[in-house]
């Protein structure tokens, strides 16, 4: 997708809020047009169909979630520090935009619409590439255990992050995601650090 126009960004934002507040089943172009106070044909001047709007949501998430990519190109950051930067960034993104968190972690959306799967996998692979790079760097620095594969460490880190974000969404954002997320990272860091680094 090309750089979105201001109006496309407004439509994507309205779609995120609609899905987050009313569920994916309520997400129709008719309902979205009503929320925006426009006609359905007016929507179609900006997006070809509902799938294109969903792809617009994913493109938005990809753009905001990969802004941190440049940090991984700076040699002064240790592998452990890069993982923490990644996690801090995720917790901050979702704390500032809970509706986006609710949409991105609503599995039924992506199970119901298999045409979104390639884009989701692409974003996941981009995130995985960043974290695997940081994990392998930490292992080569001696600050991350090497008796656990980088792939297993990736799933441990991302799986725990996903679980706490899910719990935060289900609780109605009932706790400070940044605080609890980083406390969880401190615990994981103790598990993945060698006994004598």
pLDDT in tens, 29-77: 999 999 999 999 999 999 999 999 999 999 999 999 888 888 887 778 8
The answer to whether residue 162 scores a pLDDT higher than 80 is yes
- On average, the pLDDT of the chain sits at 91
Helix (H, G, I), strand (E, B) or coil at 82: helix
Give the residue from 172, 171, 136 showing the smallest Cα distance to 154: 136
The answer to whether residue 134 scores a pLDDT higher than 70 is yes
The answer to whether residue 197 scores a pLDDT higher than 60 is no
The pLDDT value recorded for residue 17 is: 95
Q: What does the radius of gyration of the chain's CA atoms come to, in whole angstroms? A: 19
The pLDDT value recorded for residue 112 is: 66
pLDDT in tens, 167-184: 999 999 999 999 999 999
| Site of tokens 């801090």 | 88
Q: Would you say the C-alpha torsion 149, 93, 189, 156 has a positive or negative sign?
A: negative
| Site of tokens 């996903």 | 162
Give the residue from 172, 186, 179 showing the smallest Cα distance to 101: 172
Mean pLDDT throughout 102-109? 81
**What domains can you pick out in the chain, each with its CATH number?**
1-65 (1.10.10.60), 71-197 (1.10.357.10)
DSSP class of residue 4? P
- In residues, how long is the chain? 197
The answer to whether residue 161 scores a pLDDT higher than 90 is yes
Q: How far apart are CA 86 and CA 158, in angstroms?
A: 10
């Amino acid at each position: 997708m090309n750089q979105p126009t201001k109006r496309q960004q407004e439509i994507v934002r309205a779609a995120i809020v609609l899905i987050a507040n009313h569920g994916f089943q309520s997400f129709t172009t008719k309902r979205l047009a009503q929320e925006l106070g426009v006609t359905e044909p007016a929507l179609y001047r900006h997006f070809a169909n509902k799938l294109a709007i969903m792809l617009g949501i994913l493109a938005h998430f990809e753009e905001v979630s990969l802004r941190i990519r440049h940090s991984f190109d700076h040699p002064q950051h240790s592998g452990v520090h890069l993982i923490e930067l990644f996690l801090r960034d995720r917790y901050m993104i979702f704390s500032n935009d809970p509706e986006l968190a609710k949409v991105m972690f609503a599995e039924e959306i992506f199970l119901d619409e298999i045409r979104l799967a390639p884009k989701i996998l692409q974003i996941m692979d981009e995130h995985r590439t960043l974290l695997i790079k940081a994990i392998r760097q930490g292992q080569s620095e001696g600050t991350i255990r090497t008796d656990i594969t980088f792939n297993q460490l990736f799933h441990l880190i991302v799986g725990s992050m996903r679980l706490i974000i899910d719990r935060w969404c289900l609780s109605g954002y009932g706790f400070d995601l940044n605080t609890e997320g980083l406390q969880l990272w401190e615990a994981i860091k103790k598990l993945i650090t060698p006994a004598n680094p």
